[in-house]
């Protein structure tokens, strides 16, 4: 873990610069919202004092000059009286900030953009902050060495945000605990396309530039927001029950992707039968080239793949729509609730399609997966180890132990019940253990949690 710094220098300065009583012309006595949410792994991710309802992003990108310019309109509700609040933004140049249409003072320090509205904001007030910004967005190297934020691809770029990369392309409350609806408008040179989450609600080409608009009505954690810019073959279809499917594939990957992407409706229907109603208004996939990013990401409604995915990875990223995007880990300590479930979905897919049973997969990992016991699934040692096998396969093993304890029928009910209980919300590990315990009264889960979820070293053979 990295040392905590409770408040950014920027906030301290903003507070000092405030009028004597910390009170603007409105008569409200606000205080600064704070520069982080005390996430155990990313203490400065997200910000205190408000809750975002909606992001309106209007972007323009020129791959040749690598220049992004944008206006972000963030609609939020103050959860306390505010004299100032922060947004997270890494890199880029801020040109103007307004709050409810009036010019606001602002200051930047590291990833914190501190905004001081002309009048303090009432607790409970809905306010609208707009940030005009531009520049060459940064690529962020994660603690584990992978790249996120803004990635340059062979024919464009892509914004990928897990865990903290979304602050490289738009200012926001970048923590999984604050989900919001999105509308995105993006203009790129004609011949390229920009593909994002949700539904494509408009596309027009004018003066050599193509503008497309994308709408996500259901709440989205900002790390699952994406925009992929490049040459894409776009295909639109619907599942048998009417869910729109939009895939965008780099023409170079078209041949290798065709058969596997054609299975999206079948996978979504299989998952829906197991996990409960599909949480969003559309689905699909984005396929870039293999060299464009080293990993796949469950970007909401439309997972991102660097190269044609294999079936198992496609199942994994689609399962994340329920576990990760609809039921979102409350902090990064709870990431096993996304990765463990998505990995277990792969095991279940195998089991249901004539492959190994989940029991067999569990036994194999138990016998051979020595790296699984490096740390407990619910307690990664630091931000460099959030996306490793103890979280993925180790997390899946926790779920299999729950299944062994409650039996197959109760486990199926639990998969659906858990996704229903926190649909479009957030949940932490304690919520999960309490939910399981409540669903199976009289069963003692203490040793299971102690050994498989929080224990260090290899648990005793079940
Ligand atoms: N959540 C992604 C998956 O489902 C992996 C994200 C990897 N990100 C990272 N910084 N290592 O597999
Ligand atoms: Zn995953």
Dump pLDDT digits (tens) for 306-329: 999 999 999 999 999 999 999 999
Is 378 within a domain?
A: yes
User: According to the model, what pLDDT value does residue 13 have?
Assistant: 43
Query: How do residues 429-447 score in pLDDT, each as one tens digit?
Result: 999 999 999 999 999 999 9
The reply to whether 274 falls in a domain is no
pLDDT band at residue 173 under the 50/70/90 scheme:
very high
230 belongs to a structural domain: no
Q: Which pair of structure tokens corresponds to residue 448?
A: 């299971």
202, 223, 244: which is the final residue of a domain?
A: 223
Same-domain check for residues 212 and 353: no
Whether 213 is covered by a domain: the verdict is yes
Q: What is the pLDDT of residue 5?
A: 36
Of ligand 1's listed atoms, the one at least distance from the Cα of 324 is 1
Atom of ligand 1 nearest to the CA of 387: 11
Q: What is the rounded distance in angstroms from the CA atom of residue 284 to the CA atom of residue 235?
A: 9
Domain-located, residue 293:
no
Q: What is the pLDDT of residue 217?
A: 98
User: Hey, which of 161, 295, 396 would you mutate to test ligand 1's pocket, going by the most ligand atoms within 8 Å of its Cβ?
Assistant: 295
Please tell me whether residues 219 and 356 are part of one structural domain: no
56 strand-pairing partners: 73, 183
| 178 and 30 share one domain | yes
Ligand 1 lined by 296 (C-beta under 6 Å): yes
Average pLDDT over residues 258-282: 98
Q: Tell whether ligand 1 has an atom less than 6 A from the beta carbon of residue 162.
A: yes
Report pLDDT for 25.
Answer: 59
DSSP string across 265-334: HHHHHHHHHHH-S--SS-EEEEEE-GGG-SS-B--TTS-EEESSPPHHHHHHHHHTTTBTTTEEESSGGG
pLDDT of residue 137: 98
Both 82 and 196 in one domain: the answer is: yes
CA distances in angstroms from 453 to 205, 380, 428, listed in the order given: 52, 11, 13
CATH at residue 362: 1.10.390.10
d(CA 388, CA 230): 30
Q: ipTM for the complex? A: 0.97
Q: What is the pLDDT of residues 2-33, one digit of tens each?
A: 333 333 444 444 444 444 344 545 678 999 99
Q: How far apart are the CA of 457 and the centre of ligand 2, in A?
A: 23
Tens-place pLDDT, residues 34-62: 999 999 999 999 999 999 999 999 999 99
Average pLDDT score over the chain: 95
Cα 132 to ligand 1 centroid, rounded to whole Å: 30
**Inter-helix orientation angle 408-421/264-275, to 10°:** 100
Q: Is 242 left (phi over 0), alpha (psi -120 to 50) or beta?
A: left
Looking at the fold, whether 172 and 37 belong to one and the same domain comes out as yes
Mutate to test the pocket of ligand 1, among 139, 297, 313, 383 (most ligand atoms within 8 A of CB): 297
In whole angstroms, what is the distance from residue 222 CA to residue 166 CA?
6
Cα(first)–Cα(last) distance of the chain, in Å?
32
Q: What is the model's pTM?
A: 0.94
171 inside domain: yes
Closest ligand 1 atom to residue 320 Cα is 4
Instruction: Show the tokens assigned to 239.
Output: 């599942």
Residue range of the domain that includes 341: 328-453
Does one domain contain both 47 and 173? yes
CA–centroid distance, residue 323 to ligand 2 (Å): 9
Q: Which of 184, 204, 223 is the last residue of a domain?
A: 223
Tens digit of each residue's pLDDT (9 = 90 or more) over 404-413 = 999 999 999 9
Please name the helix (run of DSSP H) or strand (run of DSSP E) that holds residue 170, with its range, or none. Answer: none
Same-domain check for residues 343 and 205: no
> What is residue 26's predicted lDDT score, i.e. its pLDDT?
67
Which of the listed residues 223, 256, 271 is the one where a domain comes to its end?
A: 223
For the CA of 143, the nearest atom of ligand 1: 10
- Angle subtended at Cα 295 by Cα 347 and Cα 310, rounded to the nearest 5 degrees: 45
The CATH code of the domain that includes 92 is 2.60.40.1730
Within a domain: 231: no
| Cβ atoms within 10 Å, residue 19 | 10
User: Residue 285 falls within a domain, yes or no?
Assistant: no
User: Are 200 and 345 found together in one domain?
Assistant: no
* pLDDT grade for 399, boundaries at 50, 70 and 90: very high
The band of 181, judged by pLDDT with boundaries at 50, 70 and 90, is very high
> 303 or 7: which carries more pLDDT confidence?
303
Q: What tens digit of pLDDT does each residue of 386-395 get?
A: 999 999 999 9
pLDDT of residue 10: 43
Same domain, yes or no: 336 and 449: yes
Each residue's pLDDT tens digit, 234-260: 999 999 999 999 999 999 999 999 999
**Number of compact structural domains in the chain:** 2
Of the ligands numbered here, which is closest to the C-alpha atom of 387?
Answer: 1
Structure tokens at 120: 């303090």
């Amino acid at each position: 873990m990295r040392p905590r710094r409770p408040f950014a220098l920027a906030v301290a300065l903003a507070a000092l610069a405030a009028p004597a009583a910390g009170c603007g012309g409105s008569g409200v006595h606000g205080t600064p919202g704070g520069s982080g949410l005390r996430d155990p792994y990313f203490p400065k991710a997200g910000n205190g004092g408000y809750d975002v309802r909606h992001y309106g992003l209007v972007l323009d990108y020129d791959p040749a000059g690598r220049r992004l310019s944008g206006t972000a309109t963030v609609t939020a509700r103050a959860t306390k009286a505010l004299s100032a609040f922060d947004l997270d933004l890494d890199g880029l140049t801020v040109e103007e900030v307004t709050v409810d249409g009036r010019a606001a003072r602002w200051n930047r320090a590291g990833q914190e953009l501190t905004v001081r509205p002309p009048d303090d904001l009432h607790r409970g007030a809905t306010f609208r902050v707009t940030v005009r910004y531009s520049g060459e967005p940064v690529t962020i190297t994660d603690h584990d060495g992978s790249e996120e934020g803004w990635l340059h691809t062979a024919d464009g770029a892509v914004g990928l945000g897990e865990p903290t990369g979304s602050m490289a392309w738009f200012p926001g409350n970048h923590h999984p605990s604050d989900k919001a609806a999105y509308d995105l408008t993006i203009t790129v040179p004609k011949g390229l396309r920009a593909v994002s989450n949700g539904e494509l609600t408009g596309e027009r080409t004018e003066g050599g530039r193509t503008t497309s608009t994308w709408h996500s009505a259901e709440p989205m954690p900002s790390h699952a927001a994406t925009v992929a810019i490049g040459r894409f073959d776009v295909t639109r279809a619907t599942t048998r029950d009417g869910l729109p499917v939009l895939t965008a594939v780099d023409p170079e990957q078209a041949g290798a992707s065709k058969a596997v992407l054609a299975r999206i409706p079948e996978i979504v229907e299989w998952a829906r039968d197991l996990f409960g109603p599909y949480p969003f208004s559309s689905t699909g996939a984005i396929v870039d080239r293999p060299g464009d990013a080293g990993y796949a990401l469950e970007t909401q409604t439309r997972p991102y793949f660097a190269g044609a995915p294999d079936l198992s990875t496609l199942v994994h990223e689609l399962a994340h729509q329920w576990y990760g995007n609809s039921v979102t880990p409350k902090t990064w300590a709870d990431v096993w609730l996304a990765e463990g479930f998505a990995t277990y979905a792969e095991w279940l897919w195998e089991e249901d399609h004539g492959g190994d049973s989940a029991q067999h997969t569990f036994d194999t990992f138990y016998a051979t997966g020595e790296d699984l016991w490096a740390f407990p699934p619910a307690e990664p040692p630091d931000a460099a180890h959030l996306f490793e096998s103890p979280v993925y396969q180790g997390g899946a093993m926790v779920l299999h132990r729950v299944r062994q304890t409650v039996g197959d029928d109760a486990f199926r009910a639990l998969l659906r019940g858990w996704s229903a209980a926190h649909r479009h919300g957030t949940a932490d590990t304690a919520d999960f253990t309490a939910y399981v315990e409540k669903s199976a009264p009289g069963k003692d889960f203490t040793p299971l949690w102690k050994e498989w979820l929080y224990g260090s070293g290899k648990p005793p053979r079940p």
